[in-house]
Amino acid sequence: MPLGGSAIRTDSLGKVTGETQYVEDMKMPGLLHIKVLRSPYHHARLRGLDISRAAQMTGVKRIITWIDIPSVNGFPDYSIEEPVLTEAGQTLRMKGAPIALIVAENADQARVACEAVVMDIEPLPHTLDMDESLKPDALYIAGNANELSRFQVQHGDLAAAFAASDRILDATFETAFLEHVAMEREALLGMIDEDGRVTVIGGTHQPHNQQRYIAEMLGLTQDQVRVKVPPTGGSFGGKQDPWPFLAVGLAAYLLRQPVSLVYSRQEVFEATPKRHPYHVKCRIGVTRAGELTGFHARINCNTGGYDGGGRFISNYAVTAAGGAYRWRAVDAMARSVYTNGPKSGQYRGFGTAQSTFVLECALDELIEQLGDDPVDFRLRNCIGSGENSFLGYPLEDTLGYSQILDTIKPHYHQLVQDAESYNATHADGPLRRGVGLSGMWYRFGKAGALRVETHAELAPDGHFIVYCSAPDYGQGTNTVMSQIAAEAFGVPRDRIEIVNADTARVPNSDIQGASRATFFVGGAVQKAANTLRQSLFGVAAELLDVPVDHLTLESDRVTVCDNKSRSISLVDVA
């Protein structure tokens, strides 16, 4: 039996029938449309703007520039020195950097007016290359000589580890910018709600953080701002970017009318965060017996023109670099580097996939040189309980990596045998088959105090309502939360209502991502449901005059276990 009695997604029918309403499907009376004026250059200085002609064009309601921002022109807790709208005299660090918002009665009018704004822009030399950006005479972009952050792990005697090695691999790897290309482009609505709150509706992992950034920009208290997450057509990390929320919140606040911002696909490629490209130089030692010795790496991470969370990427790059393997000595250092590429940011497996790609490719080269077996080599080098990790300290939890490798070993060898057989019988054909194997360890959890808050209540009509913030951007968290709640209460899923990711109605369950929603928020939902279940059993026990441990919950009634004729409806308990 599936958890909660059913594995069918709660949103399946609406999506396959077209009834689900995404932001672009939502129509409102008097809806205005936003077009973003963006930099056409990779690097430039904005000297001034002339909006006079554009402001007089048909349908234009307002042209918003940095001058119109009431308080903080940025969101520094998320991205250092990234403005909402670039101020005259400041640099535009990437192609697509935002300069102004044109708000008009329809999208075509906004586009035409956008083209009519006269920009006084001084193009500057630019680079997309990290080595160029780090040269002593490089043109300054941002940070400390174009460096945003760095992180290093060192332990053991690396020289001795390499001296004890029978083989040393020196290798260089590069990865590229990657765009998420979610099916739904960035699309948001803004309005003033019935309680006078600045309200923004859009896909995001962190509605309460977006609420705070908008409030800080507008000089409002957080309870004067509301953020809601609607059905969302994919994110993969891309929709964590606060910028669209601030732009829409600003326009709604200034015009006091409903506004819409929908990116073109070109804007998605130019202006949204990308996966960080890495340039990695590594040296890895191994004995002839196939035991890893020393690890040395220098990693440059391209954060593009703006921070976008890139200050954390140096830590994440190093953390992932050595995997779940045993090392005698380590020296790994990563830097987050500014260039004039598109800003990099959150992307599925943030910071981990690139380093894992490098390590596992390098290990495969060593395995091939040694004539070793890919599974056996990894098993031989797995860290065990109590052993120091790549980071220089032992882990409290077991990883289970060796158990996984042991489990897949016969299947892997069968697949290799099948591939070799196919290739032998299709030697004259154009296709070949191969089998790959890699392992990844991934930081899991949250820094600081772990407080995840969820609520549960019994509604007057006897159904259960769960309040949480685990935004569903296509991965199915609404379904998961309803399954967990139904299982905890012991009722069918149709007795559960999930209220999710609306800052006016739900507590702050913190940022969702990195596979954290089911474990952390789901765990809190389970505890809230158990607490409520015990509370309503207490009420029912008094009304039925029986001990609490003699009661059970059956759909819409609390029943005495050994006397089914004695029961009370949840409506009466409520």
Domains 13-124+181-271 and 130-178+274-424 share a fold: no
Share of the chain above pLDDT 70, in %: 98
Cα–Cα distance for residue pair 428/457, rounded to 1 Å: 67
**Residue linked to tokens 């952390």:** 520
Other beta carbons less than 10 A from residue 139's beta carbon = 15
Classify 508 as helix, strand or coil: coil
- CB 55 within 8 Å of CB 63: yes
Q: How far apart are the C-alpha atoms of 512 and 205, rounded to whole Å?
A: 5
The CATH class for the domain spanning 455-573 reads alpha beta
| 10-residue mean pLDDT series, the chain (574 residues) | 88 94 95 98 98 97 98 96 97 98 98 97 97 96 97 98 98 96 96 98 95 98 98 93 98 98 96 97 97 98 96 96 96 98 93 96 97 97 91 86 96 97 96 95 68 93 96 93 96 95 93 78 95 94 91 90 90 91
**Quick one: three-class SS letters along 412-475?**
HHHHHHHHHHHHHHCCCCCCCCCCCCCCCCCCCCCCCCCCCCCEEEECCCCCEEEEECCCCCCC
Among candidate residues 245, 319, 306, 255, the one with its CA nearest the CA of residue 276: 306
| Each residue's pLDDT tens digit, 309-327 | 999 999 999 999 999 999 9
Nearest to residue 101, comparing CAs of 269, 272, 296, 246?
246
Q: What is the pLDDT of residues 404-443, one digit of tens each?
A: 999 999 999 999 999 999 999 999 999 999 999 999 998 7
CA 35 to chain CA mean position, Å: 26
Q: What is the pLDDT of residue 48?
A: 97
Q: Write down the residue that tokens 């509604």 correspond to.
A: 459
pLDDT at 345: 95
SS3 content of the chain, % helix, strand, coil (to 5): 35, 25, 40
Query: What are phi and psi for residue 278, nearest 5 degrees?
Result: -115, 145
**Measured between alpha carbons, how far is residue 311 from residues 205, 317, 336, 347, 350 in Å?**
19, 11, 6, 14, 12
| Cβ(136)–Cβ(58) below 8 Å | no
Contact 506, 468 (CB under 8 A): yes
- Within 8 A by CB and 6+ apart from 450, the residues are 520
CA distance 331 to 276: 22
8 Å CB contact between 480 and 517: yes
- Cα dist. 475→157, 232, 471 in Å? 45, 10, 9
Per domain, the residue ranges of the chain are 13-124+181-271, 130-178+274-424, 455-573
CA–CA separation, 322 vs 284, rounded Å? 10
CB 521 within 8 A of CB 450: no
User: What interhelical angle do 243-255 and 207-218 show, nearest 10?
Assistant: 50
The CA distance from 271 to 265, in Å, is 10
Alpha-carbon distance of 505 to 501, in angstroms, equals 8
User: 421: which residues sit within 8 A by CB, 6+ positions away?
Assistant: none
Note the CATH number of domain 130-178+274-424. Answer: 3.30.365.10
With H, G, I as helix, E, B as strand and everything else as coil, classify residue 228: strand
Q: Kindly state which CATH superfamily the domain 13-124+181-271 is placed in.
A: Aldehyde oxidase/xanthine dehydrogenase, a/b hammerhead (3.90.1170.50)
This prediction has a pTM of: 0.94
Q: Is the dihedral of CA 513, 518, 520, 525 positive or negative?
A: positive
CA 51 to chain centre: 36
Torsion from C-alpha of 115, 121, 125, 130, nearest 10 degrees: -60
How many whole angstroms separate alpha carbon 269 and alpha carbon 253? 28
Encode 186-218: b = buried (16+ Cβ within 10 Å), e = exposed. bbbbbbbeeeebbbbbbbbbbbbbbbbbbbbbb
Q: What is the pLDDT of residues 525-534, one digit of tens each?
A: 999 999 999 9
Of 154, 170, 164, 371, which is closest to residue 284 (Cα–Cα)? 170
Q: Determine how many CB atoms are found less than 10 A away from the CB of residue 8.
A: 12
Helix and strand numbers (H, E) in the chain are: 15, 21
Q: Which residues contact 137 (CB under 8 A, 6 or more apart)?
A: none
